[in-house]
Amino acid sequence: MKQKSKRSILLGAAFLMATSAIGPGFLTQTAVFTNQLGASFGFVILVSVILDIIAQLNIWRIIAVADQPAQEIANQVFPGLGYLLSFLVFLGGLAFNIGNIAGAGLGLNVLFGISITQGCLMSALIAVAIFVYKEASFVLDWVTKILGFIMILLTCYIVYKSKPPFGEAAIQTFVPQKLSFAAILTIVGGTVGGYITFAGAHRLLEAGITGENNLKQVNQGATTAIGVASLMRVLLFLAALGVVYAGAQLDPANPPASVFKLASGEIGYKLFGLVMWSAAITSVIGSAYTSVSFVKSFHPWLLKNQRQIIIVFILISTAVFLLIGKPIKTLVFVGALNGLILPVSLGVMLLAAYRTAIVKSYKHPIWLTISGVLVVIFMTGLGAEAIIQLIQNF
């Protein structure tokens, strides 16, 4: 593989993972938590970035050296575990795709004034068209990169217009006045939970960028992915912080839209529409691609027809939204479930790192193992508590 082509695939994998994370929920959560915690939300972002990088490096490296998808690795660690992991990831991906489709419809509604239903159908057709094309992987890489850059540039403009208190944000990022463990769980789960952390790793696997000789590039891809997602998170945080510190009230019905509108008027509102659509459509693509990558290895027919299955996955998500709307409670419940998928998937990968039948002669760095175990314990505790609360309120 040519070096230029490899770099393009690595960047594409990084943006696939990052833009899978940056969906409608990502935008909303960032605005809501900034409104609740103010400048102290910077500390939550800092902690989540550390946890994200640890989880991402562990999972991407082990998939690369094993040269197998996560579900097959899990089945070798414990028979049947891969099927359970695939079920959880597929279920979470399908549920979140309903919200992603809704977000895409809302984005086009804001941009062009068409109905949300029409926006959903148009967005679904665009996503389907990408996978109809024979060179879908090539288009996938470029679409996620271009839309990712657009989101970052537009949000930079909103940060400039909102004039956030940079000094206060910097101070409270390290010395917070408020702390929310629920916010940490939500942000980590929304960045590397469920299917998201596997999106880029499975893309590299498909492209053949695997093995110990490619670990340097895998590390770069993993950290770039977290860097892109975290940059967007920080920019949204600063934009919202500027609006909140100016004394404005965010609209609880659509917090991120009000950040853009309050910062830059009607132009900001239209920019929000473009950012929301870009975030939603890339998440639709990433969710569908990664969720299907968890089941395609279980039967030759699934592998042969994976593009058609991805298309059906997108169409089902769209049909569910159009028929019953956005099932808020279900999405919230599966969101917490997504947070629990991370310690399960990370724990399985850590066990696999010490199975010579899986990783051959590879020696996993001890610091990654120890930090990975700590992330598993921390996220399991937070996730279990959140699930109990949600069950009580469901």
Percent of the residues in the chain that have a pLDDT greater than 90, as a whole number? 48
- pLDDT at position 22, please? 84
% of the chain surpassing 70 pLDDT: 91
Whether the Cβ atoms of residue 161 and residue 264 lie closer than 8 Å to each other: yes
Mean pLDDT of 204-227: 90
Q: What is 20-86 written as a DSSP string?
A: HHSSHHHHHHHHHHHHHHGGGHHHHHHHHHHHHHHHHHHHHHHHHHHTS-HHHHHHHHSTTHHHHHH
The more confidently predicted of residues 20 and 119 is 119
User: What's the mean pLDDT in 182-196?
Assistant: 81
Q: So what's the pLDDT on residue 391? A: 62
What would the two tokens of residue 179 be? Answer: 């702390």
Q: How confident is the model at residue 13, as a pLDDT?
A: 85
Show the tokens assigned to 393.
């309120």
Q: Give yes or no for residue 103 having a pLDDT over 90.
A: no
- Both ends of the chain: CA-CA distance in Å? 51
Neighbouring residues of 287: CB distance < 8 A, sequence distance ≥ 6: 20, 93, 94, 96, 97, 100, 195
What does the mean pLDDT of the chain come to?
A: 87
Q: How confident is the model at residue 23 (pLDDT cuts 50, 70, 90)?
A: confident
- Going along the chain from its start, the domains and CATH numbers come out as 12-393 (1.20.1740.10)
> What does the pLDDT read at residue 152?
92
Between helix 166-174 and helix 215-245 the angle, nearest 10°, is 120
Cα 126 from chain centroid (whole Å): 20
Question: How wide is the angle at C-alpha 363 spanned by C-alphas 217 and 344, nearest 5°?
Answer: 80
Say yes or no to pLDDT of 382 above 80: no
Q: Which residues lie below 8 Å from residue 34, measured CB to CB, with a gap of 6+?
A: 41, 236, 237, 240, 241, 244
Mean pLDDT of 45-65: 94
Query: Does residue 164 or residue 303 have the better pLDDT?
Result: 164
Other Cβ atoms closer than 10 A to 114: 14
Residue 188: is its pLDDT beyond 70? yes
Confidence of residue 43 (pLDDT cuts 50, 70, 90): very high
| Nearest partner of 253 among 326, 318, 183, 322, judged by Cα | 326
Residue 252 is predicted with a pLDDT of 83
Q: What does DSSP assign to residue 194? A: T
Structure tokens that stand for 345 in this block: 């998937």
pTM: predicted TM-score of the whole model, two decimal places? 0.87
Q: What is the dihedral of CA 363, 366, 367, 369, to 10 degrees?
A: 90
Band the pLDDT of 334: cuts 50, 70, 90: low
Q: Flag whether pLDDT at 198 surpasses 70.
A: yes
pLDDT(387) > 80: no
Angle ∠(179,339,181) on CA atoms, nearest 5 = 10
**Those residues with Cβ within 8 angstroms of residue 384's Cβ, 6 or more apart along the chain or in another chain:** 340
Q: Can you tell me the distance from the alpha carbon of 286 to that of 280, in angstroms, rounded to the nearest whole number?
A: 10
Place of tokens 């010490």: 354
Task: State the Cα–Cα distance between residues 30 and 367, nearest whole angstrom.
Answer: 30
Nearest to 338 by CA among 287, 392, 280: 287
Residue 155 is predicted with a pLDDT of: 92
Give the pLDDT score at 25.
80
Tens of pLDDT, residue by residue over 26-38, are 888 889 899 999 9
Count, residues in the chain: 394
> Is the Cβ–Cβ distance between 54 and 378 less than 8 Å?
no
Q: Which of 177-181, 193-197, 220-224, 373-377 has the lowest mean pLDDT?
A: 193-197
**pLDDT of the residue at 333:** 56
- 289-328 burial, b if ≥16 CB within 10 A, otherwise e? bbbbbbbbbeeeeeeeebbebbbebbbebbebbbeeebee
Quote the pLDDT of residue 327. 45
Is 176 in a helix, a strand, or coil?
coil
